[in-house]
Amino acid sequence: MLNIDIVPCLQDNYSFVLHDKVTNTVAVVDPSEFEPINNFIKKKLKKIDYIFNTHHHFDHTGGNLELKKKYNPKIIGSAEDEKRIPGIDIKLLDNDAFNFGNVNFNIIHVPGHTSGHICFYSKKEKIIFTGDTLFSLGCGKVFEGTHLQMLNSLSRIKKLPKDTNIYCGHEYTKKNLEFCTKFESGNNFLKEKKNWITLKLNKKEPTIPVTIAEELNTNIFLRCDLLTIKKSLGMENSSEVEIFKKLRDLKDSF
Q: Which of 59, 81, 109, 117 is catalytic?
A: 59
Angle at 60 between CA 102 and CA 182, to 5 degrees: 105
Alpha-carbon 127 to chain mean position? 11
DSSP label at 170? Answer: B
Amino acid at residue number 166: I
- Catalytic position from the list 19, 55, 56, 109: 55
Q: Which member of 19, 56, 57, 109 is catalytic? A: 57
User: Is residue 59 annotated as part of the catalytic site, yes or no?
Assistant: yes
Rounded Cα gap, residues 115 and 240, in angstroms: 21
- The H or E element that residue 104 is part of is strand 103-109
DSSP state of 46: -
d(CA 142, CA 133): 9
What's the rounded Cα separation, in Å, for the pair 223 and 84? 33
Is 117 one of the catalytic residues? no
Spatial strand order of the sheet with 13-20 comes to 2-9, 13-20, 25-29, 50-52, 74-78, 90-92
Q: Where are the alpha helices (DSSP H) in 203-239?
A: 212-218, 227-232
DSSP state of 10: T
H-run or E-run covering 66: helix 64-71
Provide the 8-state DSSP code for 139.
E
Verify whether residue 109 is a known catalytic residue.
no
Please list the active-site residues: 55, 57, 59-60, 113, 132, 170
